[in-house]
Amino acid sequence: MRIRITFSKQGALRYTGHLDLHKLWERAARRAELPLAYSQGFHPQPKMNIAAALPLGFSSRCEVLDMRLEQDIQLDGLAVKLNDTMPEGIRVTQIEQVDERAPALQTQVASAEYEVTLKEAGLGSDLKRKIDSIMESESIIRTRRNKEYDLRPLVETLTLIPSPDGKKEKIFMKLTAKEGATGRPEEVLDVLGIAFEETRIERVRLNFQS
Amino acid sequence: MLTPEQIENKLDHVLLKVQKPGRYVGGELNSTHKDWDNFRTKVAFVFPDIYDIGVSNVGLKILYDQVNQRDDALAERVYSPWLDMEILMRENGIPLYALESKQPLACFDLIGFTLPYETLYTNALNVLDLGGIPIRTVDRDESHPIVIAGGHSTMNPEPMYAFIDAFVIGEGEEVIHDIINAIQKHKDQPGTSRAELLHELAKIPGVYVPTFYEAYYMDDGTLSHIEPTVDDIPKIVTKRLVAKLPPPPTKFIVPNIDIVHNRVSVEIMRGCTRGCRFCHAGMITRPVRERTVDEVLEAAKIAIKNTGFEELALLSLSSSDYSNVLELVTKVGEQFDGKHLKVSLPSLRIESVSIDLMEKLKEKRSGGFTLAPEAATERMRRIINKFVPDEEVIDTTREIYRRGWTTIKLYFMIGHPSETLEDVQAIADLCKRVIEEGRKVIGWKAKLNAGVSTFVPKSQTPFQWVSCDTPEQIRAKQALLRRELGRDKNIKLSLTDAEDSFLEAWLSRGDRRMAEVVYSAWEKGSRFDAWREGKKYSAWIEAFEEQGLDPLFYTHRQRRTDEVFPWEHITAAVRKNFLFQDFRMSLEGEIRVDCRLNCFACGILPIFAQTRRENPGEGWKCPDVKSPAPKVVSKSTHQLPVVGD
């Protein structure tokens, strides 16, 4: 049986990396006595896939994980059971069964949406201008790990969310997240002249190829 | 003082700049979060090394549970920030805080350090400094927390006497409650001073408050005597022990990042009856007390359910000596078979039965099989009282390879008393024989990891009188091993850094004057002394010079037989004359057998006769005490007989 779990990752768990998150889920499965399937061989690994690695420090409302089980189980009540023994910061929001033969989860991600909260207020109209300038440009050549790439085509949407009290502004961005073509929010922020540490970034939605 | 919210805000700006920020945020499953304002006594337990090392410590876990079970106290955890984080904390004015509430360390009533090894001393000072607490006892007043420390290295507390208000000697499960009760009583009596509270603490059995003891020295720098300065506290502080091991912890903290021991640990037995003369733990954790198979099994089941950990460790100083070890491993093996769980059973005897035990645990053979012969000549084995004939080592290791393990780890020590280069050559020869035998069985797949550490004489052991090897001797012995074993691609040799061992050796038998050396070394930037990135050997050497002390006085000097030791007023309940007799036997190459077979009256039974009388039967591996109790029992003020009487 293959199940798909959607969960949030917040608070202290923002500082748990991708590999450690796999470990966290393996333990969660053991606590909930799920018949998690393992690979064969000398070092059996649990059969789990996380849709898209979330950078350290980001929170998320929409992480998605596939897990293969050795037997079919009843999904009713499973979310509650898992949440009972989760660290604060991980909350299962949905569990569904998926077709065993469906393609691997990571290959199906199309784009990711982020909300960036600015810790310091007051960038206002300047920020709006910079955002517009990005969206109007044809290409933004950047260097990452000594390789040049064009950030612009990876930015599908970039807008300013006005805050009701005018204090903490938010930026919304939708970035391409395909294998080999993944836009990184901190790269966009860098173009906007905003230090990554001065923000809170939350992944709010993952879009899959339909 | 900063509030938890202010601290969290500041952390938000720095955490992404450090390695593994998950060390500093808490939020783990099974951590206990109590409402700060609703508990009278707040305790912060500190493991003064990084989170990765500290989280799995079982001792602090026991105390954390003990305190959190009270409805009038809360306990939280603190670890040392790594070097990168320390810089940012100092730059940004972030005080050291507890992981659960994010309250600054200085807001707690009681700070409890565990000091299992000496290389944590500078870190402990650094923790106090980062927590905004005066480092020296004398500089603390009513507004500051009480600072206590326990753990194996505090069997000689003196090098830390100036920084710790009260030491807990021995096992902490019961005495922690006595200390909290005393603090609460003190709070109920406004107007009483910190000194009065410390005086009350000094009256608790097993608690040593250094302020109330004075050390007097002779002209040659050795001690003349150590005396209490008030008359209603014990002249000699005897360790605390629990008559029966309480139920083991089962709600282990499940870290959200990778740490050193990701596992459930169940202590199956405390103490050891083997009597290896170099072994500090074996001398100071007597008597042997076992948990029942059912209790261990039940705790393991619950703890795995509570944590989901992928490994279960059955802890003791000598697993093979656990009375029902076969029954235990059979049941554990059955219980967890097919659950993708690794079970580890450390400290097995060198005999083929050990292989049967590991097979029962369905241990993955990829893990390697560990044995500790410690020495490789008959003479040396007699001196250290760990007698395993070569043939036993060869037969056992051959069988291990034959049954499917490809890697064997052998642990040895160099620098044992009177060890020569021939004894070290024998280690190399034995390793070569083992790998040769392995090759006969499984060919070039056979691998051997030889871990060779350097012996450090410890207080409260039969070797507390001996001199360490000189740096030249250690280097010559290590060079020999490298020369002999370095060429074989299937042998991996690991050696401990000679400088690390000296640091440990200065402190393990240090006196009060060493406190200023520790302080000065810390001031010069020494911390994380067990880490390559942290320790500054030169800082220690300068610190010694500044204090006008000679490091060799502490390490390279055979103690006089009648020498008064800096820890003379502290006892692990193993008598000095027993230790001395054992030391004399080592010089003669005389073996003492397992004391389950024959009680040698080490001191545990005479000193804890009453406790044993009240707890007869199989729980302890000491003989029953049947004699009637004396009319007057004075638990904590008994005198130790001196050597020679």
Q: What single-letter amino acid sits at A143?
A: T
Closest CB from B24, B258, B305 relative to A20 = B258
Q: What is the pLDDT, as a whole number, of residue B640?
A: 46
CATH of span A108-208: 3.30.70
Q: What single-letter amino acid sits at A60?
A: S
Instruction: Name every residue whose Cβ is closer than 8 Å to that of residue B609 and which is 6 or more positions away in sequence.
Output: B625, B627, B629
Kindly report, residue by residue over B464-509, the tens digit of the pLDDT: 999 999 999 999 999 999 999 999 999 999 999 888 899 999 999 9
Q: How many residues appear in chain A?
A: 210
Chain A residue whose CA is closest to B20: A15
Share above pLDDT 70 across residues of chain B, in percent, rounded to a whole number: 97
Domain A2-102 has CATH 3.30.70.580: yes
The mean of the pLDDT values for chain B is 94
Q: What is the pLDDT, as a whole number, of residue B642?
A: 42
Interface contact B27-A119, CB threshold 8 A: no
Q: What is the pLDDT, as a whole number, of residue A167?
A: 67
Interface contact A31-B256, CB threshold 8 A: no
How far is A57 from A53, CA to CA, in rounded Å? 12
Higher pLDDT, B292 or A41: B292
Q: What is the pLDDT, as a whole number, of residue B362?
A: 67
Structural domains in chain B, CATH included, are 4-235 (3.40.50.280), 244-363 (3.30.750.210), 368-508 (3.30.750.200), 575-645 (no CATH)
Closest CB from B13, B256, B309 relative to A13 = B256
How far is B407 from B369, CA to CA, in rounded Å? 6
Kindly report, residue by residue over B499-557, the tens digit of the pLDDT: 889 999 999 999 999 999 999 999 999 999 989 888 789 999 999 999 999 999 999 99
| Other C-beta atoms lying within 10 Å of the C-beta of residue B220 | 8
Kindly report, residue by residue over B183-231, the tens digit of the pLDDT: 999 999 988 999 999 999 999 999 999 999 999 999 999 999 999 999 9
Residue B411's nearest CA partner among B367, B451, B351 is B451
> Are β-strands B491-495 and B223-228 bridged in parallel, bridged antiparallel, or unpaired?
unpaired
- State the Rg of chain A over Cα: 19
Closest CB from A28, A43, A56 relative to B16 = A56
The pLDDT of residue B637 is above 60: no
> Are β-strands B237-238 and B491-495 bridged in parallel, bridged antiparallel, or unpaired?
unpaired
| Other C-beta atoms lying within 10 Å of the C-beta of residue B224 | 11
Give chain B positions within 8 Å (CB) of A19. Answer: 258
Mutate one of B51, B256, B336, B445 to test the A interface: name it (highest A CB count within 10 A).
B256
pLDDT tier, B366 (very low <50, low <70, confident <90, very high otherwise): low
Q: What is the pLDDT, as a whole number, of residue B526?
A: 95
Chain A residue whose CA is closest to B304: A31
| Token couple for B205 | 């059995």
Kindly report, residue by residue over A19-39, the tens digit of the pLDDT: 999 999 999 999 999 999 999
Share above pLDDT 90 across residues of chain B, in percent, rounded to a whole number: 90
pLDDT tier, A123 (very low <50, low <70, confident <90, very high otherwise): low
B83 in helix, strand or coil? helix
Spell out the domain ranges in chain A. Answer: 2-102, 108-208
Alpha helices in B361-420 (DSSP H): 378-384, 390-402
pLDDT tier, B384 (very low <50, low <70, confident <90, very high otherwise): very high
Give chain A positions within 8 Å (CB) of B254. Answer: 27, 87
The pLDDT of residue B376 is above 80: yes
Kindly report, residue by residue over A178-206, the tens digit of the pLDDT: 988 999 999 999 999 998 888 899 999 99
Interface contact B22-A57, CB threshold 8 A: no
Chain A residue whose CA is closest to B99: A12
The pLDDT of residue B298 is above 70: yes
- CA distance, residue B459 to nearest chain A CA (Å): 41
Instruction: Name every residue whose Cβ is closer than 8 Å to that of residue B38 and which is 6 or more positions away in sequence.
Output: none
Strand (E) or helix (H) holding B544? helix B537-547
Q: What is the pLDDT, as a whole number, of residue A60?
A: 98
How far is B414 from B373, CA to CA, in rounded Å? 12
The pLDDT of residue B638 is above 50: no
Higher pLDDT, B620 or B632: B620
Is A134 in contact with A191 (CB distance < 8 Å)?
yes
CA B414 from centroid of its chain's CA atoms = 20
Section B414-418 average pLDDT: 96
The pLDDT of residue B639 is above 60: no
Residue B110's nearest CA partner among B194, B203, B4 is B194
Mutate one of B8, B16, B55, B101 to test the A interface: name it (highest A CB count within 10 A).
B16
Q: What is the pLDDT, as a whole number, of residue B112?
A: 98
The pLDDT of residue B363 is above 70: no
Section A165-181 average pLDDT: 87
Q: What are the respective helix, strand and coil percentages of chain A, to the nearest 5?
A: 25, 40, 35
Q: What single-letter amino acid sits at B161?
A: Y
Question: Considering only CB atoms, which residues of chain A are within 8 Å of chain B?
Answer: 11-13, 15-17, 19-20, 23-24, 26-31, 33, 36, 38, 42-44, 46, 56-57, 85-89, 119, 196-198, 200
Interface contact A13-B308, CB threshold 8 A: no
